[in-house]
């Protein structure tokens, strides 16, 4: 499992939220499988150069979402019920990532465009 310390420049981002989003992405994409153990809070904090409390908040968010289960002796593991995106969606995301990297696009730009596209397609037309 590889987490990075590259926090985005958005106002709503906090280190704990960025960690949460990275881990959530790894779980939902299937890169972290059901029952796979996450590193300890202290290990993750040391790896990322953040306070343990920051990582603990991220793990708590994952737990609240039902993506991980924390047990004292067993540590934090990916939940059996963790939802994985459909294979076709994951394949297209990987293709998009490859193409964006080849084109030199930045992740913040790609995510912004994806969010805008998502919003445009999911907006409900006004009812008169």
User: What is the residue-wise DSSP string for 17-76?
Assistant: HHHHHHHHHHHHTTSS-TTPBPPPHHHHHHHHTS-HHHHHHHHHHHHHTTSEEEETTTEE
Mean pLDDT, to the nearest integer, of 7-30? 81
Mean pLDDT, to the nearest integer, of 24-42? 90
pLDDT of residue 54: 97
Distances (CA, A) of 100 to 54, 72, 105: 30, 41, 5
* 84 alpha carbon, distance to own chain's centre: 12
Round to whole Å and give the CA distance between 123 and 113: 15
Q: Per-residue confidence at 7, pLDDT binned at 50, 70, 90?
A: very low
Round to whole Å and give the CA distance between 28 and 25: 5
- In this structure, which topology does domain 15-78 adopt according to CATH? Arc Repressor Mutant, subunit A (1.10.10)
Q: Please name the residues in contact with 100: beta carbons below 8 A apart, sequence gap of 6 or more.
A: 107, 110
10 vs 80, residue with greater confidence:
80
> Rounded to two decimals, what is the model's pTM?
0.68
pLDDT of residue 11: 46
SS3 6: coil
Taking 70 as the threshold, does the pLDDT of residue 67 lie above it? yes
Which residue ranges does the chain devote to CATH 1.10.10.10? 15-78
């Amino acid at each position: 499992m590889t987490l990075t310390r590259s926090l985005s420049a958005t106002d709503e981002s906090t280190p704990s939220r960025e960690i949460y989003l990275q881990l959530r992405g790894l779980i939902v994409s299937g890169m972290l499988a059901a029952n796979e153990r996450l590193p300890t809070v202290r290990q993750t904090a040391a790896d990322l150069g953040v306070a343990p409390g920051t990582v603990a908040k991220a793990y708590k968010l994952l737990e609240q979402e039902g993506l991980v289960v924390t047990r004292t002796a067993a540590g934090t593991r990916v939940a059996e019920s963790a939802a994985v995106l459909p294979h076709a969606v994951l394949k297209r995301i990987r293709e998009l990532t490859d193409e964006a990297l080849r084109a030199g696009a930045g992740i913040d730009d790609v995510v912004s465009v994806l969010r805008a596209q998502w919003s445009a397609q999911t907006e409900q037309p006004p009812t008169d």
